[in-house]
Amino acid sequence: MAIAIRLARGGAKKRPYYRIVVADTRAPRDGRYIERVGSYNPMLAKDDEKRVIFTEDRVKHWLGQGAKPTDRVARFLEAAGLVEGKKVRNNPNKGKPGQKALERIEERKEKAAAAAEAAAEAEAAPAEE
């Protein structure tokens, strides 16, 4: 059985509140879990101490049992000093435009170049007469 330490969403629409839970990876996100080990309230300020709360001894226990934290939970644990090693979180390709966006950009450049040529020809034509 693969175990994960992950977030389970609660709260109302547009007012998220998350429980930090230990769950089987096959269980639904907001469904059955083994143990609740903390909470995360993203609506609070980033420097608020109640934004992320968890019981360190239970988290250490589950990490010792082989539970894998998700990326977001791993960030919380790194900030608390429970997990070593900081992952490289730089994905330069994520910000690049997709293929269709690149095609649209090329079309705009071609249209702008054609319009500039037409404007230059229009200016040159009356001067020759």
> pLDDT tens, 18-57?
999 999 999 988 889 999 999 999 999 999 999 999 999 9
CA-CA distance, 25 to 66, in Å (whole number)?
Answer: 13
More confident residue, 93 or 57: 57
Residue 40 sits in the same domain as residue 11: yes
**Is 86 within the bounds of a domain?**
no
**Is 110 within the bounds of a domain?**
yes
Does pLDDT of 113 surpass 90?
yes
Residue 44 sits in the same domain as residue 69: yes
| Predicted structure pTM score | 0.65
Residue range of the domain that includes 113? 97-124
Residue 38 sits in the same domain as residue 73: yes
More confident residue, 70 or 126: 70
Residue 75 sits in the same domain as residue 28: yes
Q: Which amino acid is at 71?
A: D
User: Which residue in 71, 51, 62 sits closest to 21, CA to CA?
Assistant: 62
Query: How many domains does one find in the chain?
Result: 2
Residue 70 sits in the same domain as residue 22: yes
Residue 74 sits in the same domain as residue 14: yes
Residue 12 sits in the same domain as residue 62: yes
**Is 129 within the bounds of a domain?**
no
CA-CA distance, 108 to 44, in Å (whole number)?
Answer: 43
Does pLDDT of 86 surpass 70?
no
